[in-house]
Structure 1
Amino acid sequence: GKVGISLRAAEDCNITENHCLANERAGIYSNEARGLNLAENHLYDNGNGILLSASNDCIVRSNHVSRNVYGISLRGSGENLLRENLMELNRYHLRIDGGEGMGVPALGSYAQDIDQSNLVDGRPVCYLVGRSGTDVPEDCGFLGLVSCREVAARNLSISNSSVGILLVNSSGCRIQNGSIDSSEKGILIQESRDCIIASCEAEGCIAGFESRDSSGIQFVANRAQGCSAEGFRLDGSLNLLLLKCSSASSNGGISLHSCRLCRVQDCSAAGNAKDGLFLSLSHKCSIVGNQATSNGRGISLAGSNACILEANSATSNQRDGISLEQLSDAEVVNNTASENGQGIFVHSSKRSRIAGNTLCNNSRYGLRMSTTTNCNITTNQICSNQIAGINLVDCTDNLLYHNIIQDNLIQNAADNGNNHWDAGAELGGNYWSDHAVMGDPGDVPRLIPGRGRDRYPFQHPGGWS
């Protein structure tokens, strides 16, 4: 059926020694129930073996839960006791979450009494609440840390869990050398502070590493591989660091949403179907020294103001190497964006500086900008792109000077707006491979197809230095 045994708004009921097989949603399901005793039931091949939804103060004891999609699910439910349950061969053994949309306080949903007598594929569930200054056993098959302080976990190997390692409202904890596979989320950090996740791997998960509403979290030398959603996802977080992490062959690589003052440094994103590195509505973040290779797009920022992109390499991405959309005050300096569809694409943005970048051998444009204003584009090398080096569409009041614009196939530049292609007689304009002049700068203007002109082009590449 849809549900084997259903208890809605029930209290103090006893459900024991039942066999619930092949039910679409759950073998045993409760909603807004209290004080249930679920014991010695056999739950096979269901959507959920046991699903407690907004149900509190229940006892779940000595159940055999096998071959379900989810073994035991506690969703928006608190203060339940789990003892001696055997979970095996489920796609995801144990699920504990806030039950999105149920109106239940998130932290209360994680206040459970679950001891190591519960087993997942023969290994103990380690669920610690309010503990401090302890180490976690290395044989855990599931790890939950709730309101914990300075707890350490090393060398865990976890598979087939809704969340392999769960940290909620915890601080100063350290997870090191963990390996999580075939789970919905490899490591989930929620409302936590100053924790370190180091040298962990998440493979074949939906999301590898996820942080929500947390601060001061450090992800160091972690690897996500083959995730169907994203390798790393950070939401609503502050002062987070991703250092030397990698995401490969996932749907999305590394993404930050509504974050502030975060730093992504020396990370790599390769072979991801969508964006290698993506920021949305994330402000004052630093993206430094990363490599984005063979993704749908390399590095993409949307609605994220005052960010710094420095010394990154974006190569062989299907669309843009670097994409900036609907943002302001970006610093895009000393990056390489080559052999992509486009090198750098800027749309509906303002007051940004694009300087010292190498934008060469892209299949379309080196630098393409649309409906963008008041940007400073200087000291870039823009060469050997297949359509044009620079293409400005409906842009105004951008200043372009001291750029090397060289050997782009169809045209070096085009502009249909009102932009400035030099910085005056003293500083001069740009170097053009298709416009010979005498002097650095010279005084024979170079006309820009469409509109605009460089009044003081240079004779030599880099003649301004």
Structure 2
Amino acid sequence: MRTEAICVVFLVVLAMIGIAVSVGVSDSTVSPATIYVPDDHETIQWAVDNATAGDTIIVRDGTYPENVKVNIERLTINSENGSDHTIVVAPGGANDHVLKVTADHVSIKGLTVKDAKGKNEAGFYIYAGLYIDAHHCNITDNKAMNNAYGFFLSDSTKNTLKNNIASDNLGDNIYLNHSDSNTISDNTVVKSSSRNGIRLWHSHGNTVCSNVASNNQNGIRLDYSPNNILEKNDAQSNILNGILLNASNNNTLIYNIAKLNDGAGISLVSSDNSVLTQNTASANNELGISLYTSSYCTLTGNVMDGNYYNFGVSGSGINHVNHSIATSNLVDGKPIYYWVDQHDQEIPKDAGFVGVVLSSNITVKDLTLTNNSVGVMLAYSVNSSIENVRTSNNFNGIALYTSINNTLINNTNSNNVEGIFMDSSSFNYLALNTNLHNNDGISMDSSSLNNLEMNRNLNNERGISMYSSNDNLLSRNINLYNEDGISMDSSNNNSLEMNTNSKNGWGIFMFSSNDNILNWNINLNNRRGFALNVSDYNILTRNNISNNNWTGISIANSRNNIIFLNNFINNSRDAYPFNSTTLWNYPFEINYTYNGANHRNYMGNYWDEYIRDTGSSGLIPPQDSDGNGIGDRQPYHSIGIDMAYYPLMKPFEYYTIYAA
């Protein structure tokens, strides 16, 4: 019995050992499965549902109408023969992504995903060909076409999108939303006419490299996305910009090509501390490289050529012009000289763009500067001179921003939007400059106490334009063939004297401008000599207003202007006041000499219509019975003028004024 018991125990032990060995062998030989669609499962989704982590799904050639949800980690889904032969299409009317990945370490290769264009409950197109809310996924060699979005990464990190094609999607071809540390490389993104080729939204630390982005709204766009690297991308023929950074700081752009875009090649908007190195921007319809309201950017070795404007810097504050821009940056083969905090130097003669910031006593002379947002820019700079510079086909030929006590002499600015532009700049002297075929010959915005004399402005929209600019002196300037010889808007306490305005639409046009003095100006052969609209307390005296086709002076909705000792000669209509109160004579008696005799009287204007009236109107012909040079018949009545007292018998030059 004892022997039998021992045998039974021995057999049980052997059985247990066998079971253990069997189990161990079974566990050690389990390997990932390869699942074929449609061989093993009719649809991709069924294959996913029956897979486990580490499995591979091979999708044979064909078209698969389904929305696939991938929630198995470490799953690989490959086509058998590439994306041209394996197409996953969203079922008709389906409001979902074609492929949605919510598991980490998933690999998808060689599929075409298309037609996810349904709307959400709010009526927006939000669905993607391939949507990823996961980490460490590899998406390669796929195509996304005709979806709301091509490839959409949301809250995803450390994924790789490589060698994919996204085209003809309604929204962004590749879109990263709050997604960080991803690599987007070697993709082709085309024909998103209403959105962007590649867009990053609140995403940082990504690498976007070696992609081709063309025929989109923007080739590559970053919004609120810092610390990304954009390298060796080719962004061309886009509807707006090749590369656009908006409110995105600390990004690095290196070796990118941006050309043939309808907007800018590379545009930075409110994007600080950006580094641009050895990028090429050419043949763009706006700017090659633009820095707008961006601060502390570093540019080295960039090439800009053949753009409408090659290079531009603009903004509203001192930080927006404070950049480090090396002379290795070229515009049409010429170096950029962008000097910050420099003093007592002269810009070299080979300059293609000149920027002078926070500097003093800088000389800019004998240069030719073309095709930039500005030829010469002085920003927050003092005591500098710009002389004998020729600018053309820039936005601003010469621009002064918050700059004081500078001298601009003998420069020629043609075919710019603004020949010379001054913003918030004072005590500057502009003389002997020629501005022609610009929108504005000389433009001042919020600038005061400047002296403009003997400048020539021809064939511009406005010869001299002033907006919100006070206490300036404009003298002996010549304005010919402009729409407005001199235009003033919201500008007060200026003196305009001895300017010649001829063959313009308006000789001098004033809107909402008060307390200005205009004297000794010549306004002739214009459509209108003077115009005062909503402008009060101005004084016009000793001006020649002659041979103007429509009116000598037009006054509308203006109060308490004093107009005296002016000549109105041979105008189609001397004056046209509307809803205005105007005093057509000086309000106090004046001491003067006329015909060799001294007189004291009130004095009005010389109206040749008054003198030509020989009684045909039934009125007494003009007479001067006391010989004081003031017509006896008063007031002078003309079309629109009922109260023009003290008309002069001869032009004002015949009267020598001593005192009022």
> TM-score, structure 1 length as denominator?
0.73
One-letter amino acid of the structure 2 residue matched with residue 349 of structure 1: S
One-letter amino acid of the structure 1 residue matched with residue 219 of structure 2: G
| Offset, 1:443 | 4.3
Note closer, same or farther for the CA distance 1:439–1:340 as it changes in structure 2 (3 Å cut). Answer: farther
> Out of 270, 281, 286, which is 2:436 matched to?
270
Partner of 2:635: 447
| Offset, 1:328 | 1.9
> Out of 197, 208, 223, which is 1:27 matched to?
197
Q: Deviations over 1:154-175 (max 9, x none)?
A: 984169xxxx969596655947
Partner of 1:115: 277
The structure with more helix, counted as a fraction of residues: 2
Measure, in 2, the Cα distance between the counterparts of 1:386 and 1:79: 59
Note closer, same or farther for the CA distance 1:346–1:144 as it changes in structure 2 (3 Å cut). Answer: closer
Alignment of 1:79-118 (within 5 A): 79-90=250-261, 94-99=265-270, 109-116=271-278, 118=279
Partner of 1:457: 648
Q: Bigger CA drift: 236-245 or 26-35?
A: 236-245
Mark the runs of 5 or more structure 2 residues left unpaired by the alignment. 1-168, 284-288, 314-320, 593-600, 612-622
Measure, in 1, the Cα distance between the counterparts of 2:189 and 2:584: 74
One-letter amino acid of the structure 2 residue matched with residue 442 of structure 1: G
Partner of 1:322: 486
Larger Rg: 2
Note closer, same or farther for the CA distance 1:110–1:15 as it changes in structure 2 (3 Å cut). Answer: same
Q: Bigger CA drift: 28-37 or 277-286?
A: 277-286
SS of 1:444's equivalent? coil
Partner of 1:288: 453
Q: Deviations over 1:382-408 (max 9, x none)?
A: 222234434555655444444333333
| Offset, 1:52 | 2.7
User: Percent of aligned pairs with the same residue?
Assistant: 20
Q: Contact conserved, 1:138 with 1:154, CA < 8 A, in 2? A: yes
Q: Bigger CA drift: 263-272 or 28-37?
A: 263-272
| Offset, 1:333 | 0.6
Note closer, same or farther for the CA distance 1:301–1:426 as it changes in structure 2 (3 Å cut). Answer: same
Partner of 1:8: 177
| Offset, 1:75 | 3.1
| Offset, 1:358 | 0.7
SS of 1:298's equivalent? strand
Q: Higher relative CO (CA 8 A, sep ≥ 6), structure 1 or 2?
A: 1
> Out of 332, 336, 340, which is 1:157 matched to?
332
Partner of 1:356: 520
Measure, in 2, the Cα distance between the counterparts of 1:243 and 1:458: 42
> TM-score, structure 2 length as denominator?
0.54
Alignment of 1:17-56 (within 5 A): 17-24=186-193, 25-56=195-226
SS of 2:244's equivalent? strand
Partner of 1:342: 506
> Out of 394, 404, 407, which is 2:570 matched to?
407
Note closer, same or farther for the CA distance 1:421–1:31 as it changes in structure 2 (3 Å cut). Answer: same
CA-based RMSD: 4.6
| Offset, 1:459 | 4.2
Alignment of 1:224-303 (within 5 A): 224-225=392-393, 230-231=395-396, 237-239=402-404, 243-246=409-412, 248-249=414-415, 254-256=420-422, 259-262=425-428, 264-272=430-438, 275-303=440-468
Q: Deviations over 1:358-385 (max 9, x none)?
A: 1112233x23434544333222222222
One-letter amino acid of the structure 2 residue matched with residue 77 of structure 1: S
Measure, in 1, the Cα distance between the counterparts of 2:281 and 2:490: 47
Partner of 2:369: 201
The number of aligned residues is 431
Measure, in 2, the Cα distance between the counterparts of 1:144 and 1:321: 29
Q: Deviations over 1:445-464 (max 9, x none)?
A: 45333343443735465122
| Offset, 1:332 | 0.6
Note closer, same or farther for the CA distance 1:70–1:176 as it changes in structure 2 (3 Å cut). Answer: farther
Measure, in 2, the Cα distance between the counterparts of 1:16 and 1:75: 21
Measure, in 1, the Cα distance between the counterparts of 2:229 and 2:330: 31
Measure, in 2, the Cα distance between the counterparts of 1:158 and 1:380: 50
Partner of 1:102: none
Mark the runs of 5 or more structure 1 residues left unpaired by the alignment. 100-108, 180-186
> Out of 391, 395, 415, which is 1:223 matched to?
391
Note closer, same or farther for the CA distance 1:277–1:18 as it changes in structure 2 (3 Å cut). Answer: same
Partner of 2:595: none
Measure, in 2, the Cα distance between the counterparts of 1:234 and 1:37: 38
Q: Contact conserved, 2:568 with 2:574, CA < 8 A, in 1? A: no
